[in-house]
Amino acid sequence: MTFSSGTPQQPDTPSQLTGPELAALIDHTLLTPEATDADVAAALAEAKELGAHSLCVTPARLPLDNPELPVTAVVGFPSGAHNSLAKAFSARIAVDQGATELDMVVDLGAVTAGAWNMVMADIVTVREAAPSPVVLKVILETAYLLTLPDGAERIDRCCQIALAAGADFVKTSTGYHPAGGASVEAVRIMQESIGGKMGIKAAGGIRTRSQALELVAAGATRLGCSRTREIVTAD
């Protein structure tokens, strides 16, 4: 089983990334609930063709047949409102079935309530179930948090907790929250909080090459995209 590095460095010149260089930062994503095994196989072939970093799928579609690249599975997706032990069990099964990276959704209710010990315990429980070298990313739903008066402070606090809990990345969004997905503002807040100490994954609503490059320039070291081909082949 091959595991990827936990904390990649940001490219020196994000605005000048070539298509293949940009593809190498992307977790090619297929998380629609109606996706079949055949759909996942097609997405896997596309990810390989384009040179994506990994394929991101739901745990129900594991194991994949000869993936030959890292496989990311989501945990507690998309609400995060799952018992921590259920998240941990899901994480362990996903790893046993070939996932080398996990994208877990934070306990957003605990974040909203400011129950920071609960947030820490949730992440630690998953980290203990899937220790390094499994790469653990924590999804914060930053678009929602930025609707709150102290949203930037909450994003910062979540980043610091994720770092202390042993996660490898913080991630902006699931792409399923009605508040929206990735934004340059959110990535900059995350970068200011933990830049260089963890990876930052921007995901949710990334549709164009220019948008992807803006997020990388703001500090993203990984991207989650379902429109990978359009993004990496655009002029």
CB-CB contact of 136 with 169 (8 Å): yes
Is 197 known to be catalytic? no
Does residue 168 belong to any structural domain of this protein? yes
Is 103 known to be catalytic? yes
Catalytic residue among 27, 103, 122, 168: 103
Output the six-digit token pair for 125.
Answer: 């429980």
We report the CATH number of the domain holding residue 47 as 3.20.20.70
Does residue 4 belong to any structural domain of this protein? no
Angstrom distances, CA of residue 28 to CA of 23, 46, 64, 161, 204: 9, 9, 14, 27, 12
Parent domain of 223: 14-233
Does residue 8 belong to any structural domain of this protein? no
Catalytic residue among 122, 137, 168, 201: 201
- Average pLDDT on 104-109 reads 98
Is 137 known to be catalytic? no
CA gap 172, 160 in Å, rounded: 14
Catalytic residue among 107, 122, 137, 171: 171
Q: Per residue in 213-232, pLDDT tens?
A: 999 999 999 999 999 999 99
Does residue 5 belong to any structural domain of this protein? no
CB-CB contact of 168 with 137 (8 Å): yes
Does residue 94 belong to any structural domain of this protein? yes
Q: What is the DSSP code string of 128-140?
A: HHS-TTSEEEEE-
Q: At residue 133, does pLDDT exceed 80?
A: yes
Q: Per residue in 163-208, pLDDT tens?
A: 999 999 999 999 999 999 999 999 999 999 998 999 999 999 999 9
Does residue 220 belong to any structural domain of this protein? yes
Q: How many domains does the chain fold into?
A: 1
User: What phi and psi, each to the nearest 5 degrees, are found at residue 113?
Assistant: -80, -10
